[in-house]
Structure 1
Amino acid sequence: MRHLFTLPLLSLALAAPAAAQTVPVNLFRDAVRTLSSDEYEGRAPGTAGEEKTLAFLVELFQAAGLKPGNPKEPNGPSWFQDVPMVEITARNVSPLTFTGGTGAPQSLAYGPQMVVGTYRVTPRIEVANSDVVFVGYGINAPERGWNDYAGLDVKGKTVVILVNDPDWSMPGLDGPFGGRAMTYYGRWTYKYEEAARQGAAAALIVHQTEPAAYGWNVVQSSWTGAQQVAATENDGADQSAAIGWVQLDQAKALFARAGQDFDKLAAAARQKGFKPVPLAGVEASVSFDNQVRRHASKNVVGILPGTTAPDEVVLYTAHWDHLGQCEAAPDGDNICNGAIDNATGTAALIAIAKAQAQAGATPRSQVYLAVTGEESGLLGSDYYGKNPLYPHARTVGGVNMDALSMAGPAKNVVVVGYGKSDLDAYLTRALATQGRVASPEPTPEKGFYYRSDHFSLAKHGVPMLYFDGGDDLVDGGKAAGQAYAEAYEENAYHGPKDEFDPNWRWDGIQRDLDLYYSVGRALASTTEWPNWKPGDEFRSLRDKSRAGQ
């Protein structure tokens, strides 16, 4: 059961809650409608949709009262930060074939039964007759005494991996990996990173809806078509040749052909001391061509300069990108418009900037960062994290906005990563002015804290707050909130039906926008330096960063 509660205040030294300010919801609404229109083609990086999005953001940032926020350009401040990317589109994808063991060769079709891609920038990928090994959850965590690769060299082999953490199904938050709350070890991005470090030729994640937090339709729409990867000096030569996902039923059939029971091995993989299990005699093969295009996508950056402490920065972040053209819906619609994910967050940047500028500059500077490539693995925010335009040590903290709730007014907000930092107290104070409370996320196993752009800043020690609209709705309570979330995930998330709806409840989004406004304004008006809580995974990074000041 999920409990509502309030969060402890930091201290009386915090700035008082910002005076009541109504963020212009009409501006927000119109921006969402424009950004998610078919004209913007789903806002994929490196497309005409990106060009239209960038022009629109600059126009509205400027109209809101912001200044160009990249101070590091040789020709003067710019609205943009270039993010080097490579677009890789798989062509002529062969079936993923498993041979050996018992029975005829097992052939998995690209799209309905498996998806595959690569981080390597090369014209062709071929994995031929690669021994298959089950590596449990694919985790190597020495600090936790856990190594799913222990005792077996997987160089040149194909590893099959379970999604999420070993203890994801536990009811509470106690366990070797935080119980039901996902850690970064549970994210698919980590699985591929570790497989590459181990030298695997291919890495395949078994899709299971509950621990993955989405259905196969999301995997298929996200992994087919053009894929964006970060440009690297070695063109991804140190990465596995092929990475992808396989359907659960196909994985069970794969294990059976090697004389293994998938369910039994999956249960064993949850226990400390699990050792990798070769699927004896079974080999994997897959090949595909790559259409490669190098380009520089862009983060869009605007600033409202501070008055007395302009070198101290408060961040507002949201990602402007979405999936572009994707797997078509039954009606033939193949544009993933990304209205909620994340035209809402991008529109919030615009509307909040307008309200902040109208209220007057704060002592600290406010930076509005619309990042690219979130859907491809947080590429834009990761690049900013590694190449900050404003020093992390002088960045007070920030608020990330991703996929705002359009369900209507709620009695609460859902804090993703509650209890991690002092920023909770700023939110509590703002909530009190609306008579609302904060609730912990009801599905910590979905790992939302590691799935959006705040994570890229947190990895560098910057405290970041991420909260969603509430799930305890004024009309219908938690049942209505759950129904809204389930309907969005099933019918719209990462699909062509995430479209603008003029019938959304604008009174609910108004309250949430005002919260984002109040939290950011309080941060930009105080002299406090919020930190991560003692013992948090990011605390030492922040302490080290601030110690250099």
Structure 2
Amino acid sequence: MRISSTLKVAGLASLAMLAACKQGDTPAAAPVIPDIALPDLSLTTLQDVTKELSSDAFEGRSPGTAGEEKTVAYLIKKFEEAGLKPGNNGKWTQDVPLVEITAKNATPLSFTGGKAPVTLQYAKDYVGFSYRVQPKTEIKDSDVVFVGYGINAPEKGWNDYAGLDVKGKTVVILVNDPDWQTKEAKGEFNGRAMTYYGRWTYKYEEAARQGAAAALIVHDTEPAAYGWNVVESSNTGTQYLADSKDGGAKETVANGWMQLGKAKELFASAGQDFDKLRDAAKVKGFKPVALTGVKASFSFDNQISKKMSRNVIGVLPGTKRPDEYVLYTAHWDHLGRCQPVAGDDICNGAVDNATGTAGLVTLAQAYQKAGAADRSIVFLAVTAEESGLLGSKYYAENPVFPLARTVGGVNMDALNAVGPTKDIVVVGRGKSELDAYVEKLAKLDKRVIKDEPTPEKGFYYRSDHFSFAKLGVPMFNFGSGEDLVTGGVEAGKKGSEDYEKNRYHAPGDEYEAITNWDGMLADLRLYYVSGRMLAMSDAWPNWVEGDEFRAARDKSRPAK
């Protein structure tokens, strides 16, 4: 029989409370979740800050640019006006060391040795970049091997590199997980819900561990969950890396993406059927296939600059337990100058993520108006999210406020610009005891909790909450679903698809394109309540038993 969303969540909450029990026969008492009223928030503040941060004057807020200088100065001013205190030992900022790399003079990617040469033009057919800090990147006459989904998961008995030496070779990899076409979120790799093995970041990491010279992911819009325009705009401009002592020597020489049509042309030239091999790669025990005789060659110069970017940190000290912390996070950065569209080369990032950053300021004002909470509230605007969550990763690994004393938090990335909804969607639902809090939020705002509608997009691994989750800190990551109050699911999907197709990671993501602010305010009210619930209680939410992040939390959190 069908089970209502409310009953599902109630069941999850019960399981979470049982999982939180210490070893023994007597279950621990369920945490008391405080009653917090929905606040009045300033629409003017939300709009004004979004408009300012996404204006052309900020040049797309790319780290290490004049746009960053303006962004940081503006956020410090707004945090101070909102009554916050400097969050880093008397300073408003935390230095985040980055390496800026810009590919120049890229050659075509050529495959020779097959029935006919196959040539891919830079940006149009392929993108290439390097995580190694070196002046020139060159792949020359590299053997090519198809490694399916490029996954090595010992716990699943799955290894696409089994028996293969890829040192010096170029590996061609499929995006997403082998079972991504499964309609339900269950299966070897969680079916339709993407796992970390399906993320492009993992595939490059594993290729490097295997010793490959280059890793090329085949772009396919449906399993990638975004079009080639996103790949092109995100990877053809300046890239940022975390500064490291070895200059990225353990990484592959080069990474990149290639268009699906060109991949099929390449395989045909090598006497292989791409579609058949793609199907074969879905099955455990798949053996990598060498494209015999085919050699890959491409190169580009690297313009390198080491720069110091900054996280911006404000704090509202707690009244009873000031050494316990609740986080609000949002990334202030965007892509800067990008691939022009109709002559416009500034990716303003109004929705992504001027809105979330403006949300920090709006919530800070609301907290100041309501008065300090029992626990301290930290407002953290992080850098370099678009470059791989680098700012949040740096903070999580070098925390100003110890993670062992960080109760949890709320991450805000691209607020709902479509309109208020009847539902709430939790990314990572069922993983932590925060589900019980979301259940209370839903009742407070008379909304229904629904499963994530697009788990195949892997949103759990694509935003800053992930940096904290990996180190054990439970973070709320929820927002509006697609069931609009006006127009229903059909209108919600249409609005989301329109944004993703026409504005996401493109110059069209501008303030003027935002026509509905009601959904943002509705979600911000819930973000306020969720953080305030944590800040006014003495509970320490944990991950459910068996979750991948539970061990880190158990090791670090204070005893109850």
TM-score by length of 2: 0.95
1:91 aligns with: 104
- Per the TM alignment, residue 502 of structure 1 is displaced from its structure 2 partner at its CA by 6.9
Are 1:546 and 2:557 counterparts?
Answer: yes
**Does structure 1 conserve the Cα–Cα contact (< 8 Å) formed by 2:422 and 2:485?**
yes
Are 1:462 and 2:473 counterparts?
Answer: yes
Structure 2 distance, partners of 1:524, 1:426, is 12
Could you tell me which of 291, 297, 304 is aligned with 2:309? 297
Could you tell me which of 183, 187, 210 is aligned with 2:222? 210
Q: Where do residues 168-179 of structure 1 align in structure 2 (5 Å cutoff)?
A: 168-179=180-191
1:483 aligns with: 494
**Does structure 2 conserve the Cα–Cα contact (< 8 Å) formed by 1:3 and 1:439?**
no
2:441 aligns with: 430
CA gap 1:486/1:191 in 2 versus in 1, 3 angstroms: same
Structure 2 distance, partners of 1:173, 1:469, is 20
Q: Where do residues 12-411 of structure 1 align in structure 2 (5 Å cutoff)?
A: 13-71=31-89, 77-103=90-116, 105-329=117-341, 331-411=342-422
Corresponding letter in the other structure for 2:451: P
**Does structure 1 conserve the Cα–Cα contact (< 8 Å) formed by 2:405 and 2:558?**
no
Structure 2 distance, partners of 1:409, 1:342, is 19
Structure 2 distance, partners of 1:506, 1:107, is 46
- How big is each residue's C-alpha offset from its partner over 1:282-315, in whole Å with a ceiling of 9 and x where there is no partner? 0100111110010011111111111111111111
Q: Where do residues 415-454 of structure 1 align in structure 2 (5 Å cutoff)?
A: 415-454=426-465
Aligned-CA RMSD value: 1.4
CA gap 1:195/1:548 in 2 versus in 1, 3 angstroms: farther
**Does structure 1 conserve the Cα–Cα contact (< 8 Å) formed by 2:158 and 2:284?**
yes
- Per the TM alignment, residue 543 of structure 1 is displaced from its structure 2 partner at its CA by 1.1
Q: Secondary structure at the match of 1:317?
A: strand
**Does structure 2 conserve the Cα–Cα contact (< 8 Å) formed by 1:23 and 1:355?**
yes
Q: Secondary structure at the match of 1:293?
A: strand
Structure 1 distance, partners of 2:122, 2:479, is 35
Structure 2 distance, partners of 1:535, 1:487, is 38
Q: Secondary structure at the match of 1:501?
A: helix
- How big is each residue's C-alpha offset from its partner over 1:35-58, in whole Å with a ceiling of 9 and x where there is no partner? 101111000000100000000100
Corresponding letter in the other structure for 2:412: M
**Does structure 2 conserve the Cα–Cα contact (< 8 Å) formed by 1:4 and 1:438?**
no
Could you tell me which of 390, 394, 412 is aligned with 2:423? 412
Corresponding letter in the other structure for 1:244: G
- Per the TM alignment, residue 438 of structure 1 is displaced from its structure 2 partner at its CA by 1.7
Q: Secondary structure at the match of 1:39?
A: helix
Structure 2 distance, partners of 1:318, 1:4, is 32
- How big is each residue's C-alpha offset from its partner over 1:114-153, in whole Å with a ceiling of 9 and x where there is no partner? 0000001110011100000001111111111111100010
Q: Secondary structure at the match of 2:339?
A: coil
Q: Secondary structure at the match of 1:306?
A: coil
Q: Secondary structure at the match of 1:504?
A: coil
1:495 aligns with: 506
Segment drifting more, 473-482 vs 410-419: 410-419
**Does structure 1 conserve the Cα–Cα contact (< 8 Å) formed by 2:434 and 2:474?**
yes
Structure 1 distance, partners of 2:362, 2:257, is 39
Structure 2 distance, partners of 1:15, 1:504, is 35
Structure 2 distance, partners of 1:537, 1:140, is 17
Segment drifting more, 5-14 vs 62-71: 5-14
Structure 2 distance, partners of 1:493, 1:369, is 23
- Per the TM alignment, residue 417 of structure 1 is displaced from its structure 2 partner at its CA by 1.1
Percent of paired sites with the same residue: 62
Structure 1 distance, partners of 2:172, 2:513, is 44
- How big is each residue's C-alpha offset from its partner over 1:198-232, in whole Å with a ceiling of 9 and x where there is no partner? 11110000000011110000000110111111111
- How big is each residue's C-alpha offset from its partner over 1:393-448, in whole Å with a ceiling of 9 and x where there is no partner? 11101110001111111111221111111112212212212211221211101100
Unaligned runs of at least 5 residues, structure 1:
72-76
**Does structure 2 conserve the Cα–Cα contact (< 8 Å) formed by 1:134 and 1:160?**
yes
- Per the TM alignment, residue 508 of structure 1 is displaced from its structure 2 partner at its CA by 2.4
CA gap 1:432/1:380 in 2 versus in 1, 3 angstroms: same
**Does structure 1 conserve the Cα–Cα contact (< 8 Å) formed by 2:311 and 2:382?**
yes
Structure 2 distance, partners of 1:17, 1:235, is 50
- Per the TM alignment, residue 475 of structure 1 is displaced from its structure 2 partner at its CA by 0.6
Structure 1 distance, partners of 2:177, 2:397, is 27
- Per the TM alignment, residue 176 of structure 1 is displaced from its structure 2 partner at its CA by 1.1
**Does structure 1 conserve the Cα–Cα contact (< 8 Å) formed by 2:417 and 2:514?**
no
Q: Secondary structure at the match of 2:386?
A: helix
Structure 1 distance, partners of 2:349, 2:310, is 18
- Per the TM alignment, residue 474 of structure 1 is displaced from its structure 2 partner at its CA by 0.7
Segment drifting more, 27-36 vs 467-476: 467-476
**Does structure 2 conserve the Cα–Cα contact (< 8 Å) formed by 1:4 and 1:439?**
no
Structure 2 distance, partners of 1:126, 1:548, is 53
Corresponding letter in the other structure for 1:499: E
**Does structure 1 conserve the Cα–Cα contact (< 8 Å) formed by 2:543 and 2:553?**
yes
Corresponding letter in the other structure for 2:466: F
**Does structure 2 conserve the Cα–Cα contact (< 8 Å) formed by 1:417 and 1:440?**
no
Could you tell me which of 528, 531, 535 is aligned with 2:542? 531
**Does structure 2 conserve the Cα–Cα contact (< 8 Å) formed by 1:140 and 1:149?**
yes
Q: Secondary structure at the match of 2:512?
A: coil
**Does structure 1 conserve the Cα–Cα contact (< 8 Å) formed by 2:140 and 2:297?**
yes
Structure 1 distance, partners of 2:534, 2:181, is 37
Structure 2 distance, partners of 1:352, 1:453, is 18
Structure 1 distance, partners of 2:289, 2:440, is 52
- How big is each residue's C-alpha offset from its partner over 1:227-254, in whole Å with a ceiling of 9 and x where there is no partner? 1111110011111111000000000111
Structure 2 distance, partners of 1:458, 1:13, is 21
**Does structure 2 conserve the Cα–Cα contact (< 8 Å) formed by 1:132 and 1:278?**
yes
1:74 aligns with: none
Segment drifting more, 448-457 vs 496-505: 496-505
Corresponding letter in the other structure for 2:156: R
TM-score by length of 1: 0.96
